[in-house]
Amino acid sequence: MRDAGLKGLEAVLAIARRGSFRAAALELGMSTTALSHAIGRLEAGLGVRLFNRTTRSVSLSDAGRDFVARIAPALAEIRGAMEGARSQRETPSGLLRINASVQAGREIAPVMLEFLRRYPEMQVDLVTEGRLVDIVAEGFDLGIRPADLVPRDMIALPLGKPQRHAVVAAPAWLAAHPTPLTPIDLPPGDCIRVRLPNGALLRWPFERDGEQVQIEARGRLTLDEAAIARAAVLDGAGIGFFIEQSVAEDIAAGRLIRLLEDWTPPRPGFSLYYPGRRNPSAGFAAFLALVREKAAQLSHGARP
C-alpha cells in the first residue's frame, strides 16, 4: 500500500467530522477535487471503501468507521508530539483554531487581532457557531463560551468582562402596548422566543434582590439567530431578550427602549477553555498570556 501520509489521514477525519467533502476541503484549505482524489488514492491503497457517497450525502462505511476509530487517537498523539517539538521554538508560529459562539467571537476579536499584530508568524482560524462542540474531537485548540457552558473536564480562563441580558422593545411597540414592570407582566403573545442550539426554547432568566424567576416566553415568532431577532424587534414585532452588547447601540440611539433593567443584573461572562496540555506550543502559550493580560487590564479598569 502506498504511504497515505498524515495529510491523507487528516483528510479522512475532516470528512468524518464535517459530513461532506466540500466542508472538509474548506477546513483543510484545498479544493474538493484534490480532496476527492486523495481519498480515492487512499481507498485504492487500502482496498476498501471508507465512505459511502451519493450526490446528496457522505457517510462512513463500516470499514471507514473502524478506520476512523483507530487512527483518531494515534493522530492525536502525533499532533501532541509535533506541538511538543514546536514548543521548543522561541518565536510563536503556526495555526490556532478557535471555536466560539457568535457573541463570544465578537468578544475575543480585539484580542485575536492584537495577537496577530504581535506575532506575525501566527495564523488564527476562528469558527463561530451556535452549537456547543467537542473541541478536541473536532480539531480545535480553544473554545469560548459562557462560563456556565464550559465542559467540566476543561481548563477555563475567564475573559474578565461580565455579561448582562437586556429586554428591549421598539418605541412604536411601546406606544401601542402597556409597559411591563415585572417579568410576569410580559405579554403572552408578543415575546420573540429564542431557540437554543440544542433545540430547546430559552426560558428568560430574571433576578432582583435575590429573587430568581424564569419566564417561559410566549409569542408568535421563534428565532435562533440574534441578528434576525434584533431586526424583528426594531420592526415592532414585540419584545426581545438579548445579550446587552448585541443591542447596546440601539438602546443608546433610542431605537430600542430597555425594559425590566432592575431584573437583569450582571452574570458571569465568557470563558476561554482548553484541554490540559503538557507541551503547549509557543503560539498557544502566547495567546493564553495575552488573554490573561487583557483580562487583568479590564479587572483593574485599565484601557485595553
| Cα–Cα dist 250/246, whole Å | 9
Q: Is the pTM of this model over 0.75?
A: no
Indicate the burial class of 96 (C-beta count within 10 angstroms; 0-12, 13-18, 19 or more): buried
Question: Given phi > 0 = left and psi -120 to 50 = alpha, else beta, which region is 238?
Answer: left
All residues at 6 or more sequence positions from 186 whose CB lies less than 8 Å from its CB, including other chains: 180, 204, 215, 217, 239
pLDDT, tens digit (0-9, with 9 covering 90-100), for 187-225: 988 999 998 877 788 899 999 988 999 999 999 999 988
pLDDT digits (tens, 9 = 90+) for 149-185: 888 889 999 886 778 899 999 999 999 999 999 999 9
For residue 88, the model assigns a pLDDT of 57
Structural domains in the chain plus CATH codes = 5-86 (1.10.10.10), 94-160+269-299 (3.40.190.10), 165-263 (3.40.190.290)
Phi, psi angle pair for 142, to nearest 5°: -140, 155
Q: How far apart are CA 191 and CA 239, in angstroms?
A: 5
Nearest CA among 189, 179, 277, 194 for reference residue 230: 194
What is the chain's alpha carbon radius of gyration, rounded to the nearest angstrom? 23
Phi-psi region of 94 (alpha: psi -120 to 50; beta: other; left: phi over 0): left
